[in-house]
Structure 1
């Protein structure tokens, strides 16, 4: 299939064909062979992520991911970074709740060197004492800064209230106490249990042929364990809906994070819900929340919402920031506007405008090889099918007012939102705080 987002010449369409490449050893990647520039972009994901952290030590996945390119195999951290600099190779790893991700960027002439560094990173990370302590101290410094960052605190407090006793309630970056206690043995155990072939997704875009990529996949990933040893994570719904969690902080504005029950990515109504959310808070300039909160009342500079389908929870999330004395007014307005949209639905014109924007802006997700690779990876993670790029805009175009009413009724069965506020908020409803 091709990335058919805009008119292209026959020659161009040949270079943007998505191919499923399976290595001799059975490792699969999605490839867009594009010779426009002498570059190769690779995105990988090991499913599991910070949800696999030990209960008593959140932050292990995050620290382990940060150290994968800080020395591996025969190369210590300095030698590894020097090797990347010599060949203009970019390699980085990170962790989210549901995966450990990696990104590789290289000139095609250096792809063999880049793949070797990637191989060393995922198979033979060193976790040398010097590197572990250096990255640990950097992460501890970041955690200390976040203690005075109202936006970060609001997000952390929301998750803790929404998911008590669940992995999603623990901070991905850990805490000052947990990160200080993580040792090389914790990091190695995490890597040994979580980096495997059966939970690996790969997307490659650029100047590399399928014939070259297939054997390279085996060289890079073939020695990984066949199966990850993941701890089962239960599905969960957010708790505390309809209440507010407040943390006092002496700042001029109150940061607000809100959220409730959404839809999972594999739900048949996800696309209608995606369109509905665009009308609620998905657009920076035309959404209802933007009009009501910013344009009409000047309560905030920005306000947003988005669907957040995690592996084990379906959420709708959003946020804003406002003057302390307008915090109560802001959250009541957000609650009311969400309820009104679910009960009354949008107008036909509002729906058509939303669909037009979502269809027209889709191509912006593919304006670089890195973005294409990232999108291909996410499509694999979401199990949407290799033809999703071709059919996505048709799915959006097919959404009707009846579809919107149906999904609105489903969301209206659980319309309450949990708000997390950090600052010195005033005017909050009595009895909702905690």
Structure 2
């Protein structure tokens, strides 16, 4: 497996991203997938994404999708948890499940000689999960332990409060883990209902990479997904409207340092200004030690070990967010600097900043294609957010086309410090809530 990954990395590094040929495949039952075929290694990877993710939780059932997802590998059909895991291991395969607020994702890795048998196991997990009481109680306890841990973690506390203020009554506003109380009330019937709310053929996108032809992939897709219902039992969530107002929220926490989370309006990936915002974010806070925030807050003044920003582009809502941590006595100064740099982006960037950002962003892109699993995930992600099949060919051209004027325009549009909300968890000196 390691040699296979290394071989794929070397092949991809030797080629520009546009040399990767993507094939559009439709199975006999109408399931669509994008495929990058590579017969050099007898190994195939699939990345299967179901739209909606944990945002598909039913009312009063927060945490059900997350718990259900964690239980998909805990036995299926006639095999209990141990037997199912052993069957996967015996085939040298890997099957994984994960949920976030936008998707329920399935990872599948198998040697070519065993892919049909491994596919049958995955199909069982998706269509006939057991939800045995012993497994439910064990995984429920694990989830509740995570919830209790997050309740004492300043980073989690800050992130949850910021999300609560940002997204109102949308599922984005609450943790996909649910609460101890909501998870405790979930029954096996709730888990079956949660599965039916999301695991259906009308919600799925698939990326595939490795030793498989389009003619072979179609039947494999039907083998894995053909037994799922044609349509899910619940509609996708509505779009989330960002409800943040500018200002500061301070949550008292006995600690020598303060954790800071902040966010303002974001931008959708299909917005004409998205790539200008993408470049702007790199210059502002997404570029590591080369970013303005790292320079001003850490390098010049030593107020934090690290500060960064990111475009959070969810399927149902977007924000432009960031975070840092620093001493209680200097956090107020750091927050002021972040606001200044937030506003300063509208005044423009230098040609060197622009050139350096574009050089990095275009240069690192081919490095993402470092193995069949990563390629399959990229292909699924492209479909999920609606990118065209030639996106890999054109992505760097879009980055290169961004001008300083574009960066200034999108910064004026989005980076308004009056709309920037800070959540501070700690005891920052001289800083009070402005709510």
Question: If the TM-score is normalised by the length of the shorter chain, which range does it land in?
Answer: over 0.9
Identify the match of residue 363 of structure 2 among 360, 374, 383.
Answer: 360
Aligned-pair CA distance for 1:6 = 5.4
Name the counterpart of 1:287: 291
Equivalent-residue separation in structure 1 for 2:52 and 2:152 (angstroms)? 30
Alignment partner, residue 19 of structure 1: 23
Task: Please identify, of 115-124 and 411-420, the stretch whose mean Cα deviation from structure 2 is larger.
Answer: 411-420
Which residue matches 1:200?
A: 204
Task: Give the 5 Å matches for 1:105-120.
Answer: 105-120=109-124
Q: Would you say the 8 A contact 1:237–1:261 is kept in 2?
A: no
TM-score by length of 1: 0.93
- 1:117 Cα deviation after fit: 1.4
Partner of residue 57, structure 1: 61
- Distance in 2, Cα, partners of 1:214 & 1:347: 50
Structure 1 residue 425 corresponds to structure 2 residue 417: no
- Secondary structure at the aligned position of 2:290 is classed as coil
* 1:338 equivalenced with 2:342 (yes/no): yes
Q: Counterpart of 2:49 in 1: which secondary structure?
A: strand
Residue 146 of structure 2 is matched in structure 1 by 142
1:32 positional shift:
1.0
Give me the whole-angstrom Cα distance separating, in 1, the residues matched to 2:256 and 2:187.
Answer: 39
Per the alignment, in what secondary structure is the counterpart of residue 190 of structure 2? helix
Does the Cα contact within 8 Å between 2:265 and 2:318 map onto a contact in 1?
yes
Task: Tell me the residue number matched to 1:90.
Answer: 94
Write out the 4+ residue segments of structure 1 that deviate beyond 4 Å after TM superposition: 3-7, 412-415
| Map of 2:322 onto structure 1 | 318
> Aligned with 1:198: secondary structure?
helix
Question: Using the alignment, how far apart are the partners of 2:48 and 2:159 within structure 1?
Answer: 26
Residues 383-394 of structure 1: pairs in structure 2 closer than 5 A: 383-394=386-397
State the partner residue of 1:191: 195
Shift of 1:414: 7.6
Q: CA deviation at 1:232?
A: 4.7
Q: Give the one of 398, 403, 406 matched to 1:403.
A: 406
Q: Residues of 2 paired with 1:274 and 1:121: CA distance?
A: 38
Residue number among 365, 381, 384 corresponding to 2:384 in the alignment: 381
CA deviation vs aligned residue, 1:125-164 (integer Å, no higher than 9, x gap)? 1111111111111111111111221111211111012122
1:268 to partner: Cα distance = 1.1
How many angstroms apart in 2 are the aligned matches of 1:182 and 1:247?
31
**Count of residue pairs the alignment pairs up:** 425
1:58–1:175 CA contact under 8 A, matched in 2: yes
Which region of structure 1 is more displaced relative to structure 2, 141-150 or 196-205? 141-150
Whole-angstrom CA distance in 1 between matches of 2:327 and 2:417 = 29
Deviations 1:311-350 (A, max 9, x none): 22121111111112222222121111111112x0211221
Q: Partners of 2:86 and 2:65 in 1: how far apart?
A: 25
**Post-superposition offset of 1:240:** 3.6
**1:210-231 deviations in whole A, cap 9, x for unaligned?**
2211111111111211122334
Distance in 2 between residues matched to 1:399 and 1:112, nearest whole Å: 46
Deviations 1:165-208 (A, max 9, x none): 22111111111111111111111001112111111010111112
SS at match of 1:285: helix
Partner residue, 1:210: 214
Runs (5+) with no aligned partner, structure 2? 1-8
Q: How does 1:32-71 map to 2 (within 5 A)?
A: 32-71=36-75
Q: Secondary structure at the match of 1:325?
A: coil
Output the aligned Cα RMSD: 2.0
Q: Deviations over 1:292-316 (max 9, x none)?
A: 1110111111111111111221211
The answer as to whether partners of 1:161 and 1:245 remain within 8 angstroms in 2 is no
Output the CA distance in 2 between the equivalents of 1:251 and 1:323: 9
Matched position secondary structure for 1:306: strand
CA distance in 2, matches of 1:163, 1:8: 42
The 3-state SS of whatever aligns with 1:100 is strand
Taking the aligned partners of 1:411 and 1:387, their CA distance within structure 2 comes to: 29
User: Structure 1: how far apart are the matches of 2:149 and 2:86?
Assistant: 30
Deviation (angstroms), 1:431: 4.9
Secondary structure of 2:330's match? helix
What is the rounded CA distance, in whole Å, between the counterparts of 1:134 and 1:431 in structure 2? 41
Does the Cα contact within 8 Å between 1:326 and 1:427 map onto a contact in 2? no
**Equivalent-residue separation in structure 2 for 1:232 and 1:6 (angstroms):** 38
Please, what TM-score do these two structures have when normalized by structure 2?
0.93
Measured at CA, do residues 170 and 414 of structure 1 come closer, stay the same or move farther in structure 2, by a change above 3 Å? same
Mark the runs of 5 or more structure 1 residues left unpaired by the alignment. Answer: none
Match status 1:300 vs 2:304: yes
Q: Give the structure 2 partner of residue 224 of structure 1.
A: 228
The one of the two structures with greater contact order (alpha-carbon pairs below 8 A, sep at least 6) is 2
Distance 1:5 1:107 in 2: 20
Is the 1:55–1:167 Cα contact (8 Å) retained in structure 2? Answer: no
